[in-house]
Structure 1
Amino acid sequence: MPEVKIRPQELFDAERFFEIITHTNLDFIEFPIKTLEEEICILQLNEAKRKANFEHNYSILYYGKLVGACGIRIDQHRPWIGEIGYFIDKDYQGKGIAAEAVRQLEKVGFEKLDLQRIIILMDTRNLASERVARKCGYEKEGVMRKVHRVGEDYYDCFLYAKTR
């Protein structure tokens, strides 16, 4: 089992996050961030998002090195449901890091945030993310049509879920 830890994101993570998102193929995720300054602004919003119970974002560390990020976004109409998202630096993909981060994040969701249901949506073309969901025991519930946007295009997503 790889040594993976998650911790709340910090402002000093901005440079490394920007490095990851600019050199990793993240075709299945829409990143509105174009500059380091924009990344810093996004990280500055984390505390307010946590306090509002809107989003809880974490840095993923692999043997102490920042290699990605993950988070839970709380459904504002159904606050007992959270959606997990994550990304991993291309140089660290395929090592089980995302799966371990999801397991830790799921524990936060069920135990600390008192969620009853956690979902993972992934572009139907994103086979690696689907493997992570399955590896973590999430069940495929179906396909959601045209819910994922990248640029001007809309794509279908698989819906995976786990309940407490």
Structure 2
Amino acid sequence: MLQMELKVNRNLIFAEHQQIETARLWLRPVSIMDAKDMFEYANDEETTRFVFVRHQTLEETRISIANYFMNEPLGKYAIEVKETGKMVGTIDLRIEDVAAVAELGYVLNKNYWGNGYIAEAAEALLDLGFTKLDLVRIFAYHDVENPNSGRVMEKLGMKQEGMIPDARRWKEKVISVILRGITKSEWAAAHQ
């Protein structure tokens, strides 16, 4: 029964934090209205190279939004630039309730790389995860051929915890991934 109570509690916390404001961004639920902005990067091979299979049509993006983001929206956010109102990517926190840990995932339109948007959005989710959701650890993976994502994780204080050789087949190639993570105590020490 305790496990169910924790899940309900975490879902309630996510429900109460569906919109998160940072200095330059709004993190908010993804909607069908975001399809054109999402397709702009979901159709781009460079942006999607390490994340998902490139979308071929706007309809495919609309279906992805409905099936992934809107079907179970809690913990999944559009990244919107306040100044322009443009949706430039997504970020999510996927919780493993029993272990009180979560995986962080993100994608950002390549036209907005280098602005610190992912680090800013991720910092807001780390704060939510450790201060409200009572997680003990947040982790993320990145392809060994994607060191830029690793640098974002390092900025967040995520330490390399291991390398998984031949972790999976991706786009007709076997890839290795690097696991990075940060604990609640490490995060708290860095934010005193």
User: Structures share a fold, TM > 0.5?
Assistant: yes
The one-character-per-residue Cα deviations of 1:52-99 (angstroms, maximum 9, x if unpaired) are: xxxx211112233211111122337x4522111111111110111111
Q: What residue is the counterpart of 2:77 in the other structure?
A: 58
Unaligned stretches of 5+ in structure 1? none
Among 72, 76, 86, the residue aligned to 1:49: 72
**Superposition RMSD in Å:** 2.3
Distance in 1 of aligned mates of 2:134 and 2:122 = 16
Larger Rg: 2
Match of residue 72, structure 1, among 89, 93, 104: 93
In structure 2, list runs of 5 or more residues that go unmatched: 1-21, 185-192
2:53 aligns with 31
1 or 2 for the larger relative contact order (CA 8 Å, sep ≥6)? Answer: 1
TM-score (norm 2): 0.73
Q: Which moved more, 1:91-100 or 1:17-26?
A: 17-26
Structural mapping, 1:129-144, within 5 Å: 129-144=149-164
- Shift in CA distance, 9/95, structure 1 to aligned 2, threshold 3 Å: same
Say which structure is richer in helix: 2
Distance 2:173 2:138 in 1: 26
In the TM superposition, what are the counterparts of 1:1-164 in structure 2 within 5 Å?
3-23=24-44, 25=46, 26-31=48-53, 33-45=55-67, 46-50=69-73, 56-62=75-81, 63=83, 64-75=85-96, 78-164=98-184
Higher percent of residues as strand = 1
Provide the identity percentage.
32
What is the letter of the counterpart of residue 60 of structure 1?
I
The 10-residue stretch of structure 1 (150-159 or 133-142) with the greater mean CA deviation from structure 2 = 150-159
